[in-house]
Structures are given as structure tokens and as C-alpha cells.
Amino acid sequence: MTSTDTASHFTHPDRNLAMELVRATEAAAIRATPWIGRGDKNAADGAAVDAMRKFLGTVNFDGVIVIGEGEKDHAPMLFNGEHVGNGRGPAVDIAVDPIDGTSLTAAGRQNALSVIAVSDRGSMLDASSVFRMNKIVTGPAGHGVVDLSQSIGENIRALAKALGKPVSEIRVAVLDRPRHEELIEEIRAAGAGTRLLLDGDVAGGINAARYESRIDMCVGIGGSPEGVITAAAIKALGGFMQGMLAPSDDEERAKGIAAGLKMDTILSADDLVQGDNTFFVATGVTDGGLVEGVRRKGPIIRTESIVLRSKSGTARRVIADHLAEKWLEPDQL
């Protein structure tokens, strides 16, 4: 290998990185499992964070967490700006959510995931200063058809036409929150059906972009970090996504402007994550429409993960069996 080849090798994350990342999400999901349905979301999240952090420390990359568990003073593990990895590989931006759906996990509900997204260094939008983002996500048919500047009714009718199906068959996922009461009414008034999400809008967005999913669109205001993570996945699926930052008050708005963020501007998936070399990895914590949750099967623990890469346009499912004795205490076997 020439010096030029070596430099290139260490500039961008390559395909082998995906299997390293999935080990980290698998570990987080397995460690969170004992807390499913126990009513303690902080304990579940803490177990997942600790497991993910340990595995990320062994990966061959020089990673900086752009989207993590918060600021350093409030989250000693996987905080925004933290360096992870062994430093001997490509320089990358990382977005982590050890459990997307901590409340779902605590309640024993579906669709909780452990998630990591990775892209080239400097390519991920740091939207941490504005907590929420208004989003719209569809499959490939949404390109040039739907737009955040249009009403939800216009978008539903346009997407239905592009998909060649009646409006009555369109299904729209939206977080079940008081702030969305009017939006939900408008969706139903347009003639479409809703799929109300208790939590975890990353899974909702991905399902909207998957061709075999029964969800056609995901809309509404959710977390900005989750919006950036979703964009990394959407780029690998060829789907459509737009977002607009939604500060809760003037103080947060001013904070976002000071951080260089664009307010009142529709952001594309490319604005959220630049380039064509994104990775997205998610492992199920609890069962859901995207992947199955962690399952104990006699002497093994089974996990299911989805691995997406935008450069190759591939989506892979990884089912792994882990010896329970390697993960559990003797009294748990």
C-alpha cells in the first residue's frame, strides 16, 4: 500500500466499521434488557450508556461525539464533544442514542432502540443548542413532491398521487404529544390515517422511508438530535427528509443563532448530514416494526440489528446469538 493509499484509508470510514458499530449497539441493548418494564428509565439508560461507551473505546477510529447524552457537566459518559475510539482510524463525527425510547423501555413498550450514526468529520450538524426540530420524512417518492412549506393536507395528497394510492390508504406517523393535537386533526381531516408514536421518532422516520413499511410519512416536532440521526439513515435508504429548528422560546432561539444555526430555514437531509458516507446502526431493545428486541433463548441471548450505509445504498439485518454466560451474572443464568 502506497502512502497515498494509506492516507485515503484513514480519511473516511469504510465498510468494516459497520460491524464494529453494531457490537456497541448490541451491548447497549443487552445491558438495558433487565430494566425493561421496571419503571426506571434512568437505570436503563445508564446501563446502555456504560456498555456502549466501553465498546466504542475499542473501535478503530478517531471519533468526536457531536450528538450525545448532553453537556459534559450533566452527562459524564458519551457527552457532546467527547473523543471516543482508539484514535487509530478515520476521523468521524458520531451521534449516539444508547436508548432511543427510554420511557418505552421503562414501561415495557415497543420500538425502543439502541442507535449510532457515523459520518465523516465535520459533516454532522451540531444542533444541540436547539432541542426540537419540525420534521417530515417519506420514502423516495417524496422527492420533489412534499415540502415543509406546504400544509400537511397538501403533502398527504401529493404523496398519495406520487405513490399511486388513495389518500385513505396513506398512514402518517406522529408523536402523540399535546403540541400535535391540531396536526393530528389536520391529518385525519385530509382523509389519511395516523400512527401515533408514544416515543422514539427515529424508528418512525426510518419506517416512513422503508419501502416495505406500512407507514408512508412521519411528521411533527421531535428532538433535533434525533433529526440528525434520522437523516443519516434516510440517506442510506434513498428517502426524503426535511427539518426546521423549532426553538421553544426567544432565549433558545438566540442561543441557536449564536451557535451559527439557521432559524426559519428548511434544512434538507444533506444540510443535516453532509456527504455520501454515512453509517446508521440500530439494535432492538424491545420489539418493534423496525427490528425485534433482545430475546433470551435458553443459553443464548439473541439480538436483531439493522445496518445502513449511504455510500453503497445497502440495508443489512444482523441477527446475532450471544452466549448468555458471557453477559449475565451466575444468579441470572
Helix axes 224-237, 201-209, angle to 10 degrees: 20
Is residue 6 exposed (0-12), middle (13-18) or buried (19+ Cβ within 10 Å)? Answer: exposed
Q: How far apart are CA 22 and CA 27, in angstroms?
A: 8
**pLDDT above 50 for 6:** no
CA-CA-CA-CA torsion for 303, 120, 72, 47, nearest 10 degrees?
10
- In 3D space, the residue among 300, 147, 290 whose CA is nearest the CA of residue 208 turns out to be 290
- In 3D space, the residue among 89, 163, 177, 94 whose CA is nearest the CA of residue 132 turns out to be 177
**The pLDDT value given to residue 3:** 39
Q: How far apart are CA 185 and CA 160, in angstroms?
A: 18
Cα distance from N-terminal residue to C-terminal residue, the chain: 48
**The pLDDT value given to residue 275:** 87
Q: How far apart are CA 87 and CA 12, in angstroms?
A: 13
**pLDDT above 80 for 5:** no
Is residue 84 exposed (0-12), middle (13-18) or buried (19+ Cβ within 10 Å)? Answer: buried
Q: How far apart are CA 165 and CA 126, in angstroms?
A: 38
The β-bridge relationship of strands 193-197 and 171-175 is parallel
**The pLDDT value given to residue 333:** 56
**pLDDT above 60 for 46:** yes
Residue 35 Cα distances to 114, 275, 328, angstroms: 14, 37, 13
**The pLDDT value given to residue 199:** 84
Mean pLDDT of 91-99: 93
- Are 253 and 247 in contact by the 8 Å Cβ rule? The answer is yes
- In 3D space, the residue among 176, 172, 174, 181 whose CA is nearest the CA of residue 146 turns out to be 172
- Are 100 and 222 in contact by the 8 Å Cβ rule? The answer is no
pLDDT band for 326, please (50, 70, 90 cuts): confident
**The pLDDT value given to residue 273:** 96
Mean pLDDT of 23-46: 94
Percent of the chain clearing pLDDT 90 (strictly above) = 74
**The pLDDT value given to residue 76:** 45
Concatenated DSSP letters of 120-134: ETT-B---TTS-EEE
* Range list of H helices, the chain: 3-9, 17-32, 41-56, 102-107, 152-163, 181-189, 201-209, 224-237, 250-258, 269-272
Q: How far apart are CA 51 and CA 65, in angstroms?
A: 16
Mean pLDDT of 18-36: 93
**The pLDDT value given to residue 12:** 63
**The pLDDT value given to residue 75:** 44
Q: How far apart are CA 18 and CA 317, in angstroms?
A: 11
**The pLDDT value given to residue 72:** 41
pTM above 0.95, yes or no: no
**pLDDT above 50 for 200:** yes
Mean pLDDT of 306-332: 87
**pLDDT above 60 for 48:** yes
Contacts of residue 118, Cβ cutoff 8 Å, sequence gap at least 6:
13, 17, 21, 61, 63, 92, 93, 94, 95, 232, 278, 279
Q: Cell numbers of 132, please?
A: 426540537
Helix (H, G, I), strand (E, B) or coil at 100: strand
